[in-house]
Each structure stands twice: as structure tokens, then as C-alpha cells.
Amino acid sequence: MQIVLVGHVDPVPVQPSDTLLASLLRAGLAFPFSCQNGNCGHCKCELLSGEVHELEYSEHALSTAERSRGIVLACRVQPRSGVVIRRID
């Protein structure tokens, strides 16, 4: 499995049970984050394609409306297939 980050040339490999954020940071990519527990919302990104498993997070960090638009918290989703994501700046 791998993550394709829009704007980044090389795909990022994913290790079993890794979150998107853990994989991106392991690959040395700069990606916004703070708490890593799904409470702050700094690691929001747009899931363009692929399957993920969502872990628990605070509704203050990610609203239902954002989820319906494909926004996820990189620290609280685990890829279940290859995924394509876009940073939200």
C-alpha cells in the first residue's frame, strides 16, 4: 500500500496499522500536526481516493460537514488500500 500526496513526486509506503500521518512523517515529509490524538484538527487533509479506517476523534476537530466533503484527520485514519490525499492549507 502507498499514499500519493498531491504535489509530492514519490508515493509514500505504508506499514501495517500506520496512520496516514505516521507514514508521511516516517517518509520525512513536512505535514501539519500537533496532538496526534484527533483533538486539534491541524492534520486535516482531503481524501481523494482509496479506503481508510477511521479511529476515534473529537467532533471539535472534524465536523460532520467536513467528513461529508472527504476531509479526514491524517492522525486518525489508517489506509486500507492505496490512497490519494491533498493537504489543506
How many CB atoms lie under 10 A from the CB of residue 50? 18
**Amino acid letter, 31:** F
pTM to 2 decimals? 0.93
Taking the C-alpha atoms of residue 70 and residue 35, their distance in angstroms, rounded to an integer, is 21
pLDDT given for residue 1 in this prediction? 93
Residue 30 CB contacts under 8 Å (≥ 6 apart), including other chains:
none
Q: Which domain holds residue 60?
A: 2-87
Across residues 68-84, what is the average pLDDT? 97
* Domain count across the chain: 1
pLDDT given for residue 67 in this prediction? 93
The secondary structure of residue 44, as a DSSP letter, is E
Across residues 24-46, what is the average pLDDT? 95
pLDDT of 71 > 90? The answer is: yes
pLDDT of 89 > 90? The answer is: no
CATH code of the domain covering residue 15:
3.10.20.30
pLDDT tens readout for residues 45-60: 999 999 999 999 998 9
Residue showing cell 491533498: 86
